[in-house]
Amino acid sequence: MSKMSDRLLKAMDLRGLKQVDLCERTGIGKSSISTYLSGEYEPKQRNLFKIAEALQVNVAWLMGKEDVPMEGPMETGHSIDNLLPIKRRKVPLLGDIAAGEPIWAQESHEDYVLADGDVPCDFALKVKGDSMEPLLLDGDVVFVREQPDVLDGQIAVVLVDDSATLKVLYHIPDGIQLVSKNSAYAPMIYAGPHASAVRVLGLAVQYTRGLI
Give 81-95 as a DSSP string. TT--PPPEEEEEEEE
Which residues, at least 6 apart from 191, have a Cβ–Cβ distance to it below 8 Å? 172, 173, 174, 175, 176
Q: Is 34 a catalytic residue?
A: no
Radius of gyration for the chain, computed over Cα atoms and rounded to the nearest angstrom: 22
Residue 58: phi and psi, rounded to 5, are: -70, 130
CB-CB contact of 96 with 165 (8 Å): no
User: What are the E-state strand segments in 32-138?
Assistant: 88-98, 112-116, 123-128
From the list 38, 167, 180, 183, the catalytic residue is 167
Q: Is 30 a catalytic residue?
A: no
CB-CB contact of 177 with 170 (8 Å): yes
- CA distance linking residue 91 with residue 174, whole number of Å: 35
- CA distance linking residue 123 with residue 149, whole number of Å: 16
From the list 50, 131, 163, 180, the catalytic residue is 131
- CA distance linking residue 202 with residue 208, whole number of Å: 17
Dihedral, CA of residue 186, residue 188, residue 192 and residue 193, to nearest 10: 130
Q: Active-site residues: which are they?
A: 131, 167
